[in-house]
Structure 1
Amino acid sequence: MLARSGDAVQALQDAIESVRDDNAIPSGLVRVTLSRFAYQLIFRPFIAEFGARYPHIQLELSLCDGTINILDAGYDLGIRFGDTLEEGMVARRLLSPFAEGLYAAPKYLARHGTPQTPDDLARHRLIGYRYITANRLLPLTLDADGEPLGVAMPTPLICNDIDVTADAIRAGLGIGRLFAPICAQQPDRERFRPVLRDYWKTYPGVYLYHLPHA
Protein backbone atom coordinates (compact mmCIF):
# COMPACT_ATOMS: atom_id res chain seq x y z
CA MET A 1 0.00 0.00 0.00
CA LEU A 2 2.71 2.45 0.98
CA ALA A 3 4.82 3.68 -1.89
CA ARG A 4 8.41 2.47 -1.73
CA SER A 5 10.91 5.15 -0.81
CA GLY A 6 12.38 5.07 -4.30
CA ASP A 7 8.95 5.44 -5.88
CA ALA A 8 8.16 8.48 -3.76
CA VAL A 9 11.55 10.05 -4.50
CA GLN A 10 11.00 9.45 -8.21
CA ALA A 11 7.55 11.04 -8.04
CA LEU A 12 9.00 14.11 -6.33
CA GLN A 13 11.87 14.22 -8.79
CA ASP A 14 9.45 14.19 -11.73
CA ALA A 15 7.33 16.90 -10.14
CA ILE A 16 10.29 19.11 -9.25
CA GLU A 17 11.72 18.83 -12.75
CA SER A 18 8.30 19.78 -14.10
CA VAL A 19 7.98 22.91 -11.97
CA ARG A 20 11.68 23.79 -12.17
CA ASP A 21 12.56 22.76 -15.72
CA ASP A 22 14.10 26.12 -16.54
CA ASN A 23 17.31 24.84 -14.91
CA ALA A 24 19.41 21.88 -16.02
CA ILE A 25 20.13 21.23 -12.33
CA PRO A 26 17.05 21.62 -10.09
CA SER A 27 17.64 24.57 -7.79
CA GLY A 28 15.87 27.32 -5.94
CA LEU A 29 12.92 27.32 -3.58
CA VAL A 30 10.35 24.51 -3.77
CA ARG A 31 7.33 24.97 -1.50
CA VAL A 32 5.33 21.87 -0.57
CA THR A 33 2.07 21.73 1.38
CA LEU A 34 1.11 18.45 3.00
CA SER A 35 -0.72 17.05 5.98
CA ARG A 36 1.12 15.88 9.06
CA PHE A 37 0.29 12.24 8.44
CA ALA A 38 1.51 12.55 4.83
CA TYR A 39 4.80 13.89 6.14
CA GLN A 40 5.16 10.97 8.55
CA LEU A 41 4.22 8.30 6.03
CA ILE A 42 5.73 9.65 2.82
CA PHE A 43 8.28 12.37 3.36
CA ARG A 44 10.03 11.57 6.63
CA PRO A 45 11.39 8.15 5.54
CA PHE A 46 13.50 9.66 2.76
CA ILE A 47 14.03 13.31 3.67
CA ALA A 48 17.78 12.69 4.01
CA GLU A 49 17.87 11.05 0.58
CA PHE A 50 15.99 14.00 -0.88
CA GLY A 51 18.52 16.45 0.57
CA ALA A 52 21.43 14.45 -0.82
CA ARG A 53 19.85 14.18 -4.26
CA TYR A 54 18.93 17.87 -4.48
CA PRO A 55 21.63 19.89 -2.71
CA HIS A 56 20.67 23.05 -4.64
CA ILE A 57 16.98 22.91 -3.72
CA GLN A 58 15.72 24.99 -0.82
CA LEU A 59 12.81 22.88 0.40
CA GLU A 60 9.98 24.47 2.36
CA LEU A 61 7.48 22.08 3.97
CA SER A 62 4.20 23.46 5.28
CA LEU A 63 2.25 20.96 7.38
CA CYS A 64 -1.46 21.67 7.39
CA ASP A 65 -4.45 19.33 7.58
CA GLY A 66 -6.72 21.74 5.74
CA THR A 67 -7.37 21.83 2.00
CA ILE A 68 -4.99 24.25 0.29
CA ASN A 69 -5.29 25.81 -3.16
CA ILE A 70 -1.65 25.67 -4.18
CA LEU A 71 -2.06 28.35 -6.84
CA ASP A 72 -3.63 30.88 -4.48
CA ALA A 73 -1.25 30.01 -1.63
CA GLY A 74 1.89 30.05 -3.77
CA TYR A 75 2.95 26.42 -3.39
CA ASP A 76 4.73 24.40 -6.04
CA LEU A 77 3.59 20.95 -4.90
CA GLY A 78 0.96 19.45 -2.65
CA ILE A 79 0.32 16.05 -1.09
CA ARG A 80 -3.34 15.39 -0.32
CA PHE A 81 -6.17 12.88 -0.51
CA GLY A 82 -7.32 12.32 -4.07
CA ASP A 83 -10.87 13.50 -3.38
CA THR A 84 -9.67 16.98 -2.35
CA LEU A 85 -7.66 17.88 -5.46
CA GLU A 86 -8.67 20.82 -7.60
CA GLU A 87 -9.55 20.20 -11.22
CA GLY A 88 -6.75 20.44 -13.75
CA MET A 89 -3.96 19.27 -11.44
CA VAL A 90 -1.23 16.92 -12.57
CA ALA A 91 -1.34 14.14 -9.96
CA ARG A 92 0.56 10.96 -9.14
CA ARG A 93 -0.66 8.51 -6.51
CA LEU A 94 1.71 7.86 -3.63
CA LEU A 95 -0.57 5.83 -1.34
CA SER A 96 -3.40 3.44 -2.10
CA PRO A 97 -6.65 3.74 -0.11
CA PHE A 98 -6.31 2.80 3.56
CA ALA A 99 -8.42 2.52 6.69
CA GLU A 100 -8.90 4.87 9.60
CA GLY A 101 -8.72 2.49 12.54
CA LEU A 102 -10.13 2.61 16.05
CA TYR A 103 -7.60 1.62 18.70
CA ALA A 104 -7.48 1.28 22.46
CA ALA A 105 -4.86 0.27 25.00
CA PRO A 106 -5.16 -3.11 26.73
CA LYS A 107 -5.58 -1.39 30.10
CA TYR A 108 -8.48 0.70 28.78
CA LEU A 109 -10.23 -2.40 27.44
CA ALA A 110 -9.59 -4.23 30.70
CA ARG A 111 -11.39 -1.46 32.61
CA HIS A 112 -14.21 -0.71 30.18
CA GLY A 113 -14.60 -3.85 28.10
CA THR A 114 -14.25 -4.29 24.35
CA PRO A 115 -17.13 -2.89 22.26
CA GLN A 116 -18.70 -5.50 20.02
CA THR A 117 -21.11 -3.27 18.07
CA PRO A 118 -21.25 0.45 17.24
CA ASP A 119 -24.07 0.84 19.79
CA ASP A 120 -21.62 -0.19 22.52
CA LEU A 121 -19.51 2.91 21.81
CA ALA A 122 -22.01 5.14 23.62
CA ARG A 123 -20.66 3.65 26.87
CA HIS A 124 -17.04 4.35 25.92
CA ARG A 125 -14.78 7.41 25.64
CA LEU A 126 -13.45 8.89 22.41
CA ILE A 127 -10.21 10.80 21.98
CA GLY A 128 -11.45 13.68 19.85
CA TYR A 129 -9.72 15.45 16.99
CA ARG A 130 -10.20 19.08 15.98
CA TYR A 131 -9.32 20.39 12.52
CA ILE A 132 -6.93 23.30 12.95
CA THR A 133 -7.95 25.37 9.94
CA ALA A 134 -11.70 24.73 10.06
CA ASN A 135 -11.82 24.80 13.88
CA ARG A 136 -14.36 22.00 14.05
CA LEU A 137 -14.42 18.59 15.64
CA LEU A 138 -13.96 15.59 13.39
CA PRO A 139 -17.12 13.50 13.77
CA LEU A 140 -16.74 9.78 14.31
CA THR A 141 -18.02 8.07 11.17
CA LEU A 142 -17.95 4.32 10.73
CA ASP A 143 -18.66 2.19 7.67
CA ALA A 144 -21.73 -0.03 8.06
CA ASP A 145 -21.88 -2.22 4.95
CA GLY A 146 -20.87 0.66 2.72
CA GLU A 147 -23.08 3.24 4.42
CA PRO A 148 -21.70 6.00 6.69
CA LEU A 149 -22.70 5.59 10.32
CA GLY A 150 -22.22 8.54 12.65
CA VAL A 151 -21.57 7.71 16.30
CA ALA A 152 -21.70 10.09 19.27
CA MET A 153 -19.36 9.37 22.18
CA PRO A 154 -18.22 11.16 25.35
CA THR A 155 -14.96 12.98 24.61
CA PRO A 156 -12.65 13.50 27.60
CA LEU A 157 -9.76 14.78 25.47
CA ILE A 158 -9.64 16.79 22.25
CA CYS A 159 -6.42 17.42 20.32
CA ASN A 160 -5.26 18.39 16.85
CA ASP A 161 -2.23 16.15 16.49
CA ILE A 162 -1.84 12.46 15.67
CA ASP A 163 1.10 12.03 18.04
CA VAL A 164 -1.01 13.34 20.93
CA THR A 165 -3.79 10.97 19.88
CA ALA A 166 -1.35 8.05 19.96
CA ASP A 167 -0.07 9.10 23.39
CA ALA A 168 -3.63 9.32 24.72
CA ILE A 169 -4.40 5.84 23.41
CA ARG A 170 -1.27 4.50 25.13
CA ALA A 171 -2.30 6.19 28.37
CA GLY A 172 -5.67 4.45 28.29
CA LEU A 173 -7.68 7.67 28.10
CA GLY A 174 -10.09 6.30 25.53
CA ILE A 175 -10.56 4.90 22.06
CA GLY A 176 -8.70 6.86 19.41
CA ARG A 177 -8.60 7.12 15.65
CA LEU A 178 -5.38 6.59 13.73
CA PHE A 179 -4.80 5.82 10.10
CA ALA A 180 -3.83 2.15 9.99
CA PRO A 181 -0.39 2.78 8.40
CA ILE A 182 0.37 5.37 11.10
CA CYS A 183 -0.46 2.81 13.77
CA ALA A 184 1.77 0.28 12.01
CA GLN A 185 4.68 2.74 12.38
CA GLN A 186 4.38 2.93 16.17
CA PRO A 187 7.34 1.22 17.87
CA ASP A 188 4.93 -0.26 20.45
CA ARG A 189 2.12 -1.01 18.01
CA GLU A 190 1.24 -4.19 19.89
CA ARG A 191 -0.21 -1.90 22.59
CA PHE A 192 -2.74 -0.52 20.10
CA ARG A 193 -5.60 -3.01 20.07
CA PRO A 194 -7.99 -2.69 17.10
CA VAL A 195 -11.63 -2.04 17.95
CA LEU A 196 -14.60 -2.79 15.66
CA ARG A 197 -12.35 -3.47 12.68
CA ASP A 198 -15.30 -4.49 10.49
CA TYR A 199 -16.63 -0.92 10.73
CA TRP A 200 -13.48 1.00 9.87
CA LYS A 201 -13.83 3.77 7.34
CA THR A 202 -11.63 3.71 4.22
CA TYR A 203 -9.95 6.88 2.98
CA PRO A 204 -9.04 7.50 -0.67
CA GLY A 205 -5.50 7.35 -1.98
CA VAL A 206 -2.96 10.11 -1.37
CA TYR A 207 -1.52 12.01 -4.32
CA LEU A 208 1.38 14.28 -5.12
CA TYR A 209 0.01 17.07 -7.29
CA HIS A 210 1.01 20.30 -9.00
CA LEU A 211 -0.18 22.68 -11.67
CA PRO A 212 0.51 21.81 -15.31
CA HIS A 213 3.71 23.48 -16.40
CA ALA A 214 3.03 26.34 -18.77
Structure 2
Amino acid sequence: MRGSEFADLRAFVTIAEQGNFARAAARLRISPSTLSEMLRGLEERLGVRLLNRTTRSMSLTEAGTRLLARFKPAMEEMDAAVEAVRHLRDTPTGTVRLHLPRLASASILEPLLGRFREAYPDIVLELCIDDAATDIVAKGFDVGITLGELLEKDMIAVPLGGTLRQLAVASPDYLARHGRPRTPADLHAHRCINWRKPGGTRLYSWEFQKDGHWISVAVEGPLIVSHRDVALTAAAQGVGIAFAYWSEQWLRPLLDAGKLVPVLEEFSPPFPGWYLYYPKQRYTPAAVRALVDFLRRETKPPARPTRGPRKG
Protein backbone atom coordinates (compact mmCIF):
# COMPACT_ATOMS: atom_id res chain seq x y z
CA MET A 1 0.00 0.00 0.00
CA ARG A 2 1.41 3.35 -1.05
CA GLY A 3 1.44 6.22 1.41
CA SER A 4 -1.17 8.17 -0.51
CA GLU A 5 -3.51 5.17 -0.50
CA PHE A 6 -3.32 4.88 3.28
CA ALA A 7 -4.01 8.61 3.63
CA ASP A 8 -7.04 8.27 1.36
CA LEU A 9 -8.36 5.32 3.36
CA ARG A 10 -7.89 7.24 6.61
CA ALA A 11 -9.79 10.14 5.04
CA PHE A 12 -12.64 7.78 4.12
CA VAL A 13 -12.83 6.43 7.69
CA THR A 14 -12.88 9.98 9.09
CA ILE A 15 -15.71 10.99 6.75
CA ALA A 16 -17.70 7.92 7.78
CA GLU A 17 -17.12 8.63 11.49
CA GLN A 18 -17.97 12.33 11.30
CA GLY A 19 -20.88 11.93 8.90
CA ASN A 20 -20.03 15.25 7.32
CA PHE A 21 -17.31 16.47 4.94
CA ALA A 22 -16.77 19.78 6.74
CA ARG A 23 -16.30 18.15 10.15
CA ALA A 24 -14.07 15.44 8.70
CA ALA A 25 -11.93 18.05 6.94
CA ALA A 26 -11.59 19.99 10.20
CA ARG A 27 -10.57 16.82 11.99
CA LEU A 28 -7.89 16.08 9.37
CA ARG A 29 -6.95 19.77 9.10
CA ILE A 30 -7.38 19.93 5.36
CA SER A 31 -9.86 21.76 3.16
CA PRO A 32 -13.19 20.10 2.23
CA SER A 33 -12.23 20.30 -1.45
CA THR A 34 -8.97 18.42 -0.81
CA LEU A 35 -10.87 15.81 1.16
CA SER A 36 -13.37 15.39 -1.66
CA GLU A 37 -10.52 14.87 -4.14
CA MET A 38 -8.97 12.22 -1.88
CA LEU A 39 -12.23 10.30 -1.68
CA ARG A 40 -12.81 10.59 -5.42
CA GLY A 41 -9.34 9.24 -6.10
CA LEU A 42 -9.88 6.31 -3.73
CA GLU A 43 -13.19 5.43 -5.38
CA GLU A 44 -11.59 5.57 -8.84
CA ARG A 45 -8.74 3.24 -7.80
CA LEU A 46 -11.14 0.77 -6.18
CA GLY A 47 -13.66 1.00 -9.02
CA VAL A 48 -16.62 1.30 -6.63
CA ARG A 49 -18.61 4.08 -5.03
CA LEU A 50 -18.12 4.25 -1.25
CA LEU A 51 -20.54 7.04 -0.37
CA ASN A 52 -23.92 8.18 -1.61
CA ARG A 53 -23.85 11.97 -1.51
CA THR A 54 -26.46 14.65 -1.99
CA THR A 55 -26.45 18.33 -1.06
CA ARG A 56 -28.20 17.48 2.22
CA SER A 57 -27.20 13.96 3.21
CA MET A 58 -24.51 11.34 3.00
CA SER A 59 -24.61 7.57 3.53
CA LEU A 60 -22.33 4.58 3.03
CA THR A 61 -22.87 2.27 0.11
CA GLU A 62 -22.66 -1.49 0.63
CA ALA A 63 -19.03 -1.38 -0.54
CA GLY A 64 -18.33 1.52 1.84
CA THR A 65 -19.89 -0.33 4.75
CA ARG A 66 -17.77 -3.41 4.12
CA LEU A 67 -14.56 -1.40 3.68
CA LEU A 68 -15.18 0.54 6.88
CA ALA A 69 -15.85 -2.65 8.88
CA ARG A 70 -12.56 -4.21 7.75
CA PHE A 71 -10.22 -1.23 7.53
CA LYS A 72 -11.18 0.80 10.64
CA PRO A 73 -10.02 -1.86 13.16
CA ALA A 74 -6.79 -2.29 11.20
CA MET A 75 -6.19 1.46 11.21
CA GLU A 76 -6.79 1.61 14.97
CA GLU A 77 -4.26 -1.17 15.49
CA MET A 78 -1.67 0.70 13.44
CA ASP A 79 -2.32 3.94 15.33
CA ALA A 80 -1.97 2.10 18.64
CA ALA A 81 1.33 0.54 17.53
CA VAL A 82 2.76 3.92 16.53
CA GLU A 83 1.55 5.55 19.76
CA ALA A 84 3.12 2.75 21.82
CA VAL A 85 6.50 3.55 20.26
CA ARG A 86 6.02 7.26 20.89
CA HIS A 87 5.53 6.52 24.57
CA LEU A 88 9.17 5.49 24.71
CA ARG A 89 10.14 9.14 24.30
CA ASP A 90 11.28 10.93 27.44
CA THR A 91 9.17 13.96 26.58
CA PRO A 92 5.60 13.81 25.15
CA THR A 93 5.21 15.64 21.86
CA GLY A 94 2.50 16.72 19.47
CA THR A 95 -0.48 19.07 19.38
CA VAL A 96 -3.33 19.00 21.90
CA ARG A 97 -6.51 20.84 20.89
CA LEU A 98 -8.46 22.14 23.89
CA HIS A 99 -11.93 23.74 23.93
CA LEU A 100 -12.88 25.74 27.00
CA PRO A 101 -15.07 28.66 28.12
CA ARG A 102 -13.63 32.11 28.62
CA LEU A 103 -13.91 32.03 32.42
CA ALA A 104 -12.27 28.60 32.67
CA SER A 105 -9.40 29.86 30.56
CA ALA A 106 -8.87 32.91 32.76
CA SER A 107 -9.25 31.20 36.13
CA ILE A 108 -7.85 27.69 35.49
CA LEU A 109 -5.56 27.52 32.48
CA GLU A 110 -3.94 30.88 31.85
CA PRO A 111 -2.14 31.06 35.22
CA LEU A 112 -0.52 27.69 34.42
CA LEU A 113 0.61 28.21 30.81
CA GLY A 114 4.20 29.13 31.73
CA ARG A 115 4.68 26.12 33.99
CA PHE A 116 3.16 23.78 31.43
CA ARG A 117 5.53 25.10 28.76
CA GLU A 118 8.50 24.49 31.04
CA ALA A 119 7.35 20.96 31.86
CA TYR A 120 6.43 19.94 28.29
CA PRO A 121 8.35 22.07 25.76
CA ASP A 122 7.53 19.74 22.84
CA ILE A 123 3.75 19.93 23.24
CA VAL A 124 1.81 22.51 21.25
CA LEU A 125 -1.42 23.64 22.95
CA GLU A 126 -4.10 24.86 20.55
CA LEU A 127 -6.76 26.68 22.58
CA CYS A 128 -10.27 27.45 21.37
CA ILE A 129 -11.80 29.82 23.93
CA ASP A 130 -15.53 29.79 23.28
CA ASP A 131 -18.52 29.90 25.63
CA ALA A 132 -20.81 27.99 23.26
CA ALA A 133 -21.52 24.33 24.03
CA THR A 134 -19.46 22.15 21.69
CA ASP A 135 -19.26 18.46 20.79
CA ILE A 136 -15.49 18.13 21.16
CA VAL A 137 -15.35 14.81 19.29
CA ALA A 138 -17.30 16.09 16.28
CA LYS A 139 -15.24 19.31 16.19
CA GLY A 140 -11.90 17.52 16.40
CA PHE A 141 -10.83 18.60 19.89
CA ASP A 142 -8.77 16.30 22.09
CA VAL A 143 -9.87 17.73 25.45
CA GLY A 144 -12.50 20.09 26.82
CA ILE A 145 -13.20 21.98 30.03
CA THR A 146 -16.76 22.58 31.22
CA LEU A 147 -18.87 22.81 34.36
CA GLY A 148 -19.54 19.56 36.17
CA GLU A 149 -23.28 19.78 35.58
CA LEU A 150 -22.75 20.05 31.81
CA LEU A 151 -20.49 17.03 31.35
CA GLU A 152 -21.33 14.85 28.37
CA LYS A 153 -21.98 11.15 28.79
CA ASP A 154 -19.29 8.56 28.08
CA MET A 155 -16.48 10.99 28.87
CA ILE A 156 -13.56 10.66 31.25
CA ALA A 157 -13.79 13.62 33.66
CA VAL A 158 -11.17 15.15 35.95
CA PRO A 159 -12.21 17.83 38.51
CA LEU A 160 -10.22 21.08 38.38
CA GLY A 161 -10.07 23.59 41.18
CA GLY A 162 -12.69 24.13 43.87
CA THR A 163 -16.43 24.47 43.89
CA LEU A 164 -18.14 27.57 42.49
CA ARG A 165 -20.97 29.78 43.66
CA GLN A 166 -23.48 31.72 41.63
CA LEU A 167 -23.36 35.07 43.39
CA ALA A 168 -25.49 38.13 42.85
CA VAL A 169 -23.35 41.27 43.16
CA ALA A 170 -23.82 45.02 42.85
CA SER A 171 -21.83 48.18 43.38
CA PRO A 172 -22.12 50.02 46.70
CA ASP A 173 -23.45 53.04 44.78
CA TYR A 174 -26.26 51.00 43.22
CA LEU A 175 -27.28 49.54 46.58
CA ALA A 176 -27.21 52.99 48.16
CA ARG A 177 -29.59 54.30 45.51
CA HIS A 178 -31.90 51.31 45.09
CA GLY A 179 -31.62 49.33 48.31
CA ARG A 180 -30.50 45.76 48.95
CA PRO A 181 -32.66 42.77 47.91
CA ARG A 182 -33.44 40.54 50.88
CA THR A 183 -34.96 37.58 49.01
CA PRO A 184 -34.70 36.37 45.38
CA ALA A 185 -38.25 37.64 44.77
CA ASP A 186 -37.05 41.18 45.55
CA LEU A 187 -35.02 41.11 42.32
CA HIS A 188 -38.20 41.80 40.35
CA ALA A 189 -38.04 45.35 41.71
CA HIS A 190 -34.38 45.83 40.72
CA ARG A 191 -32.42 46.56 37.55
CA CYS A 192 -30.59 43.31 36.69
CA ILE A 193 -27.99 42.51 34.06
CA ASN A 194 -29.17 39.54 32.02
CA TRP A 195 -27.02 36.85 30.41
CA ARG A 196 -27.77 34.89 27.26
CA LYS A 197 -25.65 31.85 26.40
CA PRO A 198 -23.74 32.41 23.12
CA GLY A 199 -25.78 30.82 20.36
CA GLY A 200 -28.82 30.55 22.64
CA THR A 201 -32.21 32.19 22.28
CA ARG A 202 -33.53 32.59 25.83
CA LEU A 203 -32.24 34.53 28.77
CA TYR A 204 -30.74 32.68 31.72
CA SER A 205 -32.98 32.45 34.78
CA TRP A 206 -31.12 33.21 37.99
CA GLU A 207 -31.13 30.28 40.40
CA PHE A 208 -31.06 30.30 44.18
CA GLN A 209 -31.60 27.72 46.88
CA LYS A 210 -33.87 27.91 49.93
CA ASP A 211 -34.50 25.09 52.39
CA GLY A 212 -32.94 22.60 49.97
CA HIS A 213 -35.12 23.67 47.03
CA TRP A 214 -33.98 25.55 43.94
CA ILE A 215 -35.72 28.80 43.03
CA SER A 216 -35.62 30.14 39.46
CA VAL A 217 -36.05 33.89 38.95
CA ALA A 218 -36.51 35.58 35.56
CA VAL A 219 -35.12 39.09 35.92
CA GLU A 220 -35.28 42.27 33.85
CA GLY A 221 -32.90 45.15 33.35
CA PRO A 222 -31.11 47.56 31.01
CA LEU A 223 -28.36 45.24 29.74
CA ILE A 224 -28.02 41.77 28.20
CA VAL A 225 -24.54 40.23 27.72
CA SER A 226 -23.11 36.99 26.36
CA HIS A 227 -20.01 37.05 28.61
CA ARG A 228 -20.48 37.13 32.36
CA ASP A 229 -17.30 39.06 33.04
CA VAL A 230 -18.79 41.95 31.05
CA ALA A 231 -21.75 41.81 33.42
CA LEU A 232 -19.36 42.28 36.36
CA THR A 233 -17.72 45.27 34.70
CA ALA A 234 -21.14 46.85 34.19
CA ALA A 235 -22.23 46.05 37.74
CA ALA A 236 -19.12 47.74 39.12
CA GLN A 237 -20.20 50.87 37.20
CA GLY A 238 -23.64 50.84 38.85
CA VAL A 239 -25.61 49.58 35.84
CA GLY A 240 -27.42 46.98 37.93
CA ILE A 241 -27.14 43.69 39.78
CA ALA A 242 -25.09 40.98 38.06
CA PHE A 243 -25.18 37.22 38.53
CA ALA A 244 -22.39 34.86 37.59
CA TYR A 245 -20.53 31.78 38.65
CA TRP A 246 -17.09 32.64 40.00
CA SER A 247 -14.48 31.01 42.15
CA GLU A 248 -14.02 32.92 45.39
CA GLN A 249 -10.38 33.55 44.43
CA TRP A 250 -11.41 35.13 41.11
CA LEU A 251 -14.06 37.37 42.60
CA ARG A 252 -12.23 38.28 45.82
CA PRO A 253 -10.12 41.20 44.40
CA LEU A 254 -13.28 43.00 43.24
CA LEU A 255 -14.91 42.46 46.63
CA ASP A 256 -11.80 43.47 48.58
CA ALA A 257 -11.46 46.63 46.47
CA GLY A 258 -15.02 47.57 47.40
CA LYS A 259 -16.12 47.71 43.76
CA LEU A 260 -18.74 45.00 44.23
CA VAL A 261 -20.80 43.76 47.18
CA PRO A 262 -22.43 40.30 47.29
CA VAL A 263 -26.16 40.09 47.97
CA LEU A 264 -28.46 37.12 48.73
CA GLU A 265 -25.45 35.05 49.85
CA GLU A 266 -27.60 32.85 52.07
CA PHE A 267 -29.44 31.71 48.93
CA SER A 268 -26.23 30.88 46.99
CA PRO A 269 -24.70 27.52 48.01
CA PRO A 270 -21.63 26.06 46.23
CA PHE A 271 -21.95 23.65 43.30
CA PRO A 272 -19.54 21.50 41.23
CA GLY A 273 -16.93 23.57 39.43
CA TRP A 274 -14.79 23.04 36.34
CA TYR A 275 -13.98 19.63 34.91
CA LEU A 276 -11.53 18.62 32.23
CA TYR A 277 -12.99 15.88 30.03
CA TYR A 278 -12.00 13.79 27.04
CA PRO A 279 -13.47 10.80 25.18
CA LYS A 280 -12.90 7.24 26.25
CA GLN A 281 -10.59 5.60 23.78
CA ARG A 282 -8.42 2.56 23.51
CA TYR A 283 -5.19 4.52 23.49
CA THR A 284 -4.90 8.06 24.85
CA PRO A 285 -2.08 10.02 23.15
CA ALA A 286 0.89 10.77 25.38
CA ALA A 287 0.51 14.54 24.93
CA VAL A 288 -3.12 14.40 26.05
CA ARG A 289 -2.21 12.31 29.08
CA ALA A 290 0.54 14.80 29.94
CA LEU A 291 -1.92 17.72 29.92
CA VAL A 292 -4.47 15.79 31.98
CA ASP A 293 -1.88 14.74 34.56
CA PHE A 294 -0.43 18.26 34.74
CA LEU A 295 -3.79 19.92 35.40
CA ARG A 296 -4.70 17.20 37.89
CA ARG A 297 -1.50 17.94 39.82
CA GLU A 298 -1.78 21.72 39.65
CA THR A 299 -5.40 21.96 40.80
CA LYS A 300 -7.05 20.57 43.90
CA PRO A 301 -10.01 18.32 43.12
CA PRO A 302 -13.13 19.20 45.10
CA ALA A 303 -15.57 16.81 46.69
CA ARG A 304 -18.51 16.82 44.31
CA PRO A 305 -21.84 17.96 45.81
CA THR A 306 -24.82 15.78 45.11
CA ARG A 307 -26.58 18.45 43.08
CA GLY A 308 -25.86 21.79 41.47
CA PRO A 309 -27.91 24.41 39.67
CA ARG A 310 -29.82 23.22 36.69
CA LYS A 311 -28.60 23.94 33.16
CA GLY A 312 -29.16 27.46 31.93
Per-residue deviation, residues 122-141 of structure 1 (Å, max 9, x unmatched): 11011111110324321122
Cα gap change, 1:44/1:165 in structure 2, threshold over 3 Å: closer, same or farther?
same
The answer as to 2:273 corresponding to 1:205 is: yes
- Greater fraction strand: 1
CA drift of 1:42 comes to 0.6
Which of 165, 168, 171 is equivalent to 2:237?
Answer: 171
The answer as to 2:161 corresponding to 1:99 is: no
Q: Is the 8 A contact 1:100 1:179 kept in 2?
A: yes
Per-residue deviation, residues 142-161 of structure 1 (Å, max 9, x unmatched): 21222221223322001111
CA distance in 2, matches of 1:162, 1:84: 17
Q: Is the 8 A contact 1:35 1:65 kept in 2?
A: yes
Q: Per the alignment, in what secondary structure is the counterpart of residue 258 of structure 2? A: helix
Partner of 2:179: 113
- Greater fraction helix: 2
Q: Is the 8 A contact 2:194 2:220 kept in 1?
A: no
Cα gap change, 1:91/1:128 in structure 2, threshold over 3 Å: closer, same or farther?
same
Per-residue deviation, residues 92-144 of structure 1 (Å, max 9, x unmatched): 11133321100000000010011112222111011111110324321122212
CA distance in 2, matches of 1:202, 1:67: 22
RMSD in angstroms over aligned alpha carbons? 2.0
Q: Per the alignment, in what secondary structure is the counterpart of residue 138 of structure 2? A: helix
**Higher RCO (Cα < 8 Å, 6 or more apart):** 1
CA distance in 2, matches of 1:163, 1:134: 18
Q: Per the alignment, in what secondary structure is the counterpart of residue 235 of structure 2? A: helix
TM-score (ref. length: structure 1)? 0.82
Task: Specify the code of the residue in structure 2 equivalent to 1:94.
Answer: L
The alignment of Structure 1 onto Structure 2 pairs a total of residues equal to 195
Per-residue deviation, residues 67-100 of structure 1 (Å, max 9, x unmatched): 3222111111111122222222222111333211
CA distance in 2, matches of 1:117, 1:106: 18
TM-score (ref. length: structure 2)? 0.58
The answer as to 2:227 corresponding to 1:161 is: yes
Which sits farther off after the overlay, 142-151 or 39-48? 142-151
CA distance in 2, matches of 1:83, 1:152: 21
Greater Cα radius of gyration, structure 1 or 2: 2
Which of 152, 172, 184 is equivalent to 1:86?
Answer: 152
Structure 1 runs (4+) greater than 6 angstroms displaced: none
The answer as to 2:211 corresponding to 1:140 is: no
Q: Per the alignment, in what secondary structure is the counterpart of residue 167 of structure 1? A: helix
